[in-house]
């Protein structure tokens, strides 16, 4: 019987041949960067240079930028669990609110990309906002050699790491601390071992002074930003009543983005936070270059979800319009030949693809439990696109009323959930997107409320086509495909 290391070596050689690399190519280093609530269209490389993301834009110019990447679930904890496990929310059910508040078990976590890489000999690390709920018997020390999350930090004897997070340090340097911890991880990296470091920034989440690094705010303090065409001043009367009456994005919009002045104020603050993150990306690339390992490193950049920021008369996320579910996704592979770099990719991608892609790039087998598709063939343009997916699935299982009730006894939460559904106050939803159309349904509402958009002619999702007879057959098809997709991911 072949040993595990021999098996991994054979797989590495096979994938190296597929990628056009030499047979003795090393396993690549992997850096996975994730921001919080960073909307896809707040980058120069996605068409808004006013946000000044020069280092991220350069990463895109040297890698692959995905124009059709989407979050399978667009709210932080479930989204992070999806990207770490490679499973849809309907499968892992690890979120904020009953009955979708399952905690990941040791078996669940053993099938995540960090655990699999650790088993394959990688040095693994995690920095920043963890945001994943686990059972008490999940020992994160088993999966991460280097860890800096709030008050938990190891190696315990690493005085430099402890100093980076000194309580005497300016709290407005929170993003800089993560950059410092990333650089220190690289400073302490053994020369003969591959690494995977995941960095989860708290920025650019919302209007918090502790993420506002003062010198960077000066760059944007007087800037007037463009306004998306679907931004709504005041309330949006076109929203479904169940959303208007119950979703927290409506009152948050009133208080944060419902006037031109409020919109500009918060946009300046988000741009500041994004710029500070961008500077850490610049530090990362400079460090990898100095170490001489950039040409054997993969850098993946994305966010955990988007943010409405006034579009559709909403703030917040979770709901299934593009401002929430469309994802920034950039993949830089230092091993790739020049002919495969600096391009845009139109393939439909889901956040559930992140974990299997990381493992495949590392030449590590993908666990059967993962439901996503690995992207190596898309990246190296050997994928037969006629065989690639033509839909992505997305869902929202977050209700503000259940979040408010999250600390009550389970039986009371169950009663509250049942009551919300019976009173038609649930805006849980699921749907699919094709290259041209998006369909989703508020499935717990009676009768169900549906939305259908022709994204080719209505990219801002302003005209619901559900009642248009010209699209009746498309509606029927997407309705059926949504339920089939949901049944498949829930039961597998």
Q: Is residue 57 part of a domain?
A: yes
- Beta bridge partners, 73, equal 395
Torsion angle (degrees, nearest 10) of CA 122, 370, 33, 249: -150
In CATH, what number is assigned to the domain containing residue 478? 3.30.1120.10
Q: Is residue 20 part of a domain?
A: no
pLDDT mean across residues, the chain: 93
- Name the strand (E) or helix (H) holding 249: helix 249-256
Same-domain check for residues 445 and 478: yes
Q: Is residue 3 part of a domain?
A: no
Encode pLDDT of 428-457 as tens digits: 999 999 999 999 999 999 999 999 999 999
- Beta bridge partners, 438, equal 433, 453
pLDDT at residue 2, as a whole number: 37
Same-domain check for residues 141 and 285: yes
Same-domain check for residues 131 and 207: yes
Q: Is residue 1 part of a domain?
A: no
Encode pLDDT of 165-176 as tens digits: 999 999 899 999
Same-domain check for residues 423 and 365: no
Instruction: Note down the domain range covering 363.
Output: 26-384
Encode pLDDT of 16-28 as tens digits: 444 444 333 579 9
The DSSP call for residue 208 is -
Q: Is residue 8 part of a domain?
A: no
Last residue of a domain, one of 338, 367, 384: 384
* pLDDT of residue 12 exceeding 50: no
pLDDT at residue 180, as a whole number: 98
Q: Is residue 5 part of a domain?
A: no
Same-domain check for residues 73 and 171: yes
Whether omega before 316 lies within 30 degrees of 0, making that bond cis, reads no
Same-domain check for residues 114 and 215: yes
- Beta bridge partners, 394, equal 431
Calculate what percentage of the chain has a pLDDT beyond 70: 94
Last residue of a domain, one of 330, 357, 384: 384
Same-domain check for residues 239 and 132: yes
In CATH, what number is assigned to the domain containing residue 124? 3.40.720.10
Same-domain check for residues 121 and 221: yes
Q: Is residue 12 part of a domain?
A: no
Task: List, as one string, the DSSP characters of 101-138.
Answer: BPPBPHHHHHTSHHHHHHHTT-EEEEEE-----B-TT-
Encode pLDDT of 108-160 as tens digits: 999 999 999 999 999 999 999 999 999 999 999 999 999 999 889 999 999 99
Same-domain check for residues 328 and 189: yes
Total tally of structural domains belonging to the chain: 2
Task: List, as one string, the DSSP characters of 38-96.
Answer: --TTSSGGGT-GGG--HHHHHHHHTSEEESSEE-SB-SHHHHHHHHHHT--HHHH-BSS
* pLDDT of residue 47 exceeding 80: yes
Place of tokens 């068409």: 47
Confidence (pTM) = 0.93
Encode burial over 294-305: b for 16+ CB neighbours within 10 A, e otherwise: bebbbbbbbbbb
* pLDDT of residue 74 exceeding 80: yes
* pLDDT of residue 314 exceeding 60: yes
Same-domain check for residues 148 and 119: yes
Last residue of a domain, one of 384, 403, 420: 384
Same-domain check for residues 367 and 399: no
Same-domain check for residues 243 and 143: yes
Q: Is residue 50 part of a domain?
A: yes
């Amino acid at each position: 019987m072949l040993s595990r290391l021999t098996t991994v070596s054979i797989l590495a050689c096979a994938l190296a041949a597929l990628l056009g690399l030499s047979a003795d190519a090393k396993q690549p280093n992997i850096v996975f960067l994730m921001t919080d609530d960073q909307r896809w269209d707040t980058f120069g490389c996605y068409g808004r240079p006013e946000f000044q993301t020069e280092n991220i834009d350069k990463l895109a110019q040297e890698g692959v930028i995905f124009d059709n990447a989407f979050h399978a679930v667009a709210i932080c904890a479930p989204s992070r669990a999806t990207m770490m496990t490679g499973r849809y929310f309907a499968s892992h059910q690890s979120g904020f609110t009953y009955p979708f508040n399952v905690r990941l078990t040791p078996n669940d976590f053993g099938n995540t990309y960090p655990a699999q890489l650790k088993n394959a000999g990688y040095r693994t690390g995690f920095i920043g906002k963890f945001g994943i709920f686990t059972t008490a018997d999940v020992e994160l020390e088993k999966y991460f050699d280097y860890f800096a999350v709030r008050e938990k930090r190891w190696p315990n004897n690493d005085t430099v790491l402890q100093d980076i997070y000194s309580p005497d340090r300016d709290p407005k340097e929170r993003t800089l601390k993560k950059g410092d911890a990333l650089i220190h991880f690289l400073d302490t990296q053994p020369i003969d071992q591959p690494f995977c470091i995941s960095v989860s920034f708290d920025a650019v989440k919302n209007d918090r002074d502790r993420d506002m690094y003062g010198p960077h705010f000066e760059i944007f303090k007087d800037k007037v930003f463009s306004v998306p065409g679907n931004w709504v001043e005041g309330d949006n009367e076109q929203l479904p009543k169940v959303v208007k009456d119950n979703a927290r994005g409506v009152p948050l919009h009133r208080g944060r983005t419902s006037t031109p002045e409020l919109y500009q104020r918060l946009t300046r603050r988000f741009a500041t936070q994004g710029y500070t993150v961008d500077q850490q990306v610049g530090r990362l690339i400079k460090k990898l270059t100095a170490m001489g390992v950039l040409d054997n490193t993969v850098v993946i950049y994305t966010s955990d979800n988007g943010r409405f920021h006034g579009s559709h008369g909403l703030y917040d996320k979770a709901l299934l319009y593009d401002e929430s579910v469309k994802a920034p996704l950039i993949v830089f592979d230092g091993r790739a030949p020049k002919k495969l770099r600096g391009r845009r990719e139109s393939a439909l991608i889901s956040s559930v693809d992140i974990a299997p892609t990381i493992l495949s790039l590392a030449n590590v087998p993908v666990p059967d439990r993962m439901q996503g598709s690995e992207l190596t063939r898309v990246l190296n343009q050997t994928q037969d696109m006629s065989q690639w997916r033509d839909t992505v699935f997305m869902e929202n299982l977050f209700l503000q009323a259940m979040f408010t009730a999250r600390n009550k006894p389970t039986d009371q939460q169950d009663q509250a959930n049942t009551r919300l559904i019976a009173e038609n106050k649930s805006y849980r939803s699921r749907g699919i997107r094709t290259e041209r159309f998006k369909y989703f349904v508020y499935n717990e509402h009676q009768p169900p409320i549906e939305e259908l958009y022709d994204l080719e002619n209505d990219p801002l999702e302003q005209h619901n086509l559900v009642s248009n007879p010209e699209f009746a057959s498309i509606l029927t098809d997407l309705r059926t495909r949504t339920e089939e997709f949901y049944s498949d991911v829930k039961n597998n």
